């Protein structure tokens, strides 16, 4: 008897990449003052929150709070990634304001292309495990695939 079900890595990575790629959008929606700063150990540190702009409509405030909440969940999952080098790759690729190609990222960080993609894949899987209690994980049941969501 298996303790854990087998994870469908391809679908799980796809889910993780989709959520990670939305981070910049959430950051713009929440407002730049709520964007976490990157620390020296490549952890994300959230800034203080205060949603006190009386000129905004209820819808805008709701979107802003929802975007901030999503950013918090993503930040929490990123900070739970054990290897700081894997965390660094994810932050460089998905969190920095300046969008860089993968080539530029792995060249600047001193990784080979294959090593970069192995670490990126490992980071995506670990992110999926950490994000909202594994809600991005997709499991295989026999030959069938079952999403945890």
**Main-chain dihedrals φ then ψ at residue 48, nearest 5 degrees:** -65, 150
The confidence score (pLDDT) of residue 2 equals: 54
Can you give the pLDDT at residue 56?
46
Closest CA to 140 of 4, 3, 8: 8
Q: What is the pLDDT of residues 55-79, one digit of tens each?
A: 446 787 888 889 999 999 999 999 9
Average pLDDT score over residue span 145-149? 60
Query: In the predicted model, what is the mean pLDDT of the chain?
Result: 86
Maximum Cα–Cα distance across the chain: 59
Residue pLDDT, tens place only, 29-53 = 888 665 566 777 777 776 555 555 5
Cα 146 from Cα 123, distance rounded (Å): 22
| Helix axis angle, 9-21 to 113-130, nearest 10° | 90
């Amino acid at each position: 008897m298996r303790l854990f079900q087998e994870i469908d890595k391809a679908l799980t990575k796809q889910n993780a990449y989709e959520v990670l790629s939305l981070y910049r959008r959430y950051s713009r929606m929440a407002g730049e003052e709520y964007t976490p700063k990157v620390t020296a150990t490549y952890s994300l540190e959230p800034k203080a929150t205060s949603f006190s702009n009386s000129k905004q409509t209820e819808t805008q405030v709701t979107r802003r709070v929802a975007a901030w909440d999503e950013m918090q969940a993503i930040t929490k999952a990123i900070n739970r990634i054990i290897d700081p080098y894997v965390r660094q790759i994810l932050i460089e690729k998905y969190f920095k304001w300046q969008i860089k190609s993968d080539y530029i990222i792995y060249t600047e960080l001193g990784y080979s292309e294959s090593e970069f993609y192995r670490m990126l894949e490992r980071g995506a899987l670990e992110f999926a495990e950490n994000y909202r209690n594994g809600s991005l994980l997709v499991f295989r049941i026999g030959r069938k695939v079952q999403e945890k969501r």
